């Protein structure tokens, strides 16, 4: 039950986050000055919080979404499997979020 409502909640978060992504593309198209404003915002504490929440939402919605596609195909409905797959969605998304940020930090360190 929790995984289902989380799928919707993360979907709404991702929709709102996508509007910020529109801002990113618009500022990149508008020129270096606007891009500097945007990247300054993305590097601020609030920007970090948004990016972090967005990355976890994406990870969760992605993994749980694949689970939904598997269920659409008719698999994964036995109660034990269903519960196990719920935990895969939860812990898999935390793992994927950690991976994203470790790679991003490594990239920043290497750049």
- Which positions lie near other proteins, rule CB under 8 A? 8, 11-12, 14-15, 18-19, 21-22, 25-26, 28-29, 32, 35-36, 55, 58, 62, 65-66, 68-69, 72, 100, 103-104, 107-108, 111
| Cα 18 to Cα 21: distance, rounded to the nearest angstrom | 5
Smallest distance, other proteins to C-beta of residue 80, A = 26
CA distances from 87 to 9, 20, 61 (A): 17, 30, 14
Q: How far is the CB of 11 from other proteins (least distance, A)?
A: 5
Which residue's CB is nearer to other proteins, number 45 or number 79? 45
Contacts of 24 (CB under 8 A, 6+ apart): 38, 42
Least gap, CB of 83 to other proteins (angstroms): 23
Residue closest to 64 by CA, chosen among 92, 102, 33, 31? 92
Q: Is 64 exposed, middle or buried (0-12, 13-18, 19+ CB in 10 A)?
A: buried
Which residue lies nearer to other proteins by CB, 78 or 111?
111
- Nearest distance in Å: CB 71, other proteins: 11
């Amino acid at each position: 039950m929790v995984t289902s409502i989380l799928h919707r909640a993360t979907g709404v978060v991702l929709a709102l986050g996508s509007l910020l992504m529109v801002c990113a593309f618009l500022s990149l198209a508008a020129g270096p000055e606007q891009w500097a404003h945007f990247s300054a915002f993305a590097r601020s504490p609030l920007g970090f919080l948004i990016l972090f929440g967005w990355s976890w939402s994406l990870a969760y919605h992605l993994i749980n979404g694949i689970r939904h596609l598997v269920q659409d195909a008719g698999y994964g409905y036995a109660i034990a499997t269903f519960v196990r797959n719920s935990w895969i969605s939860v812990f898999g998304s935390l793992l994927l979020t950690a991976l994203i940020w470790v790679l991003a930090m490594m990239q920043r360190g290497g750049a």
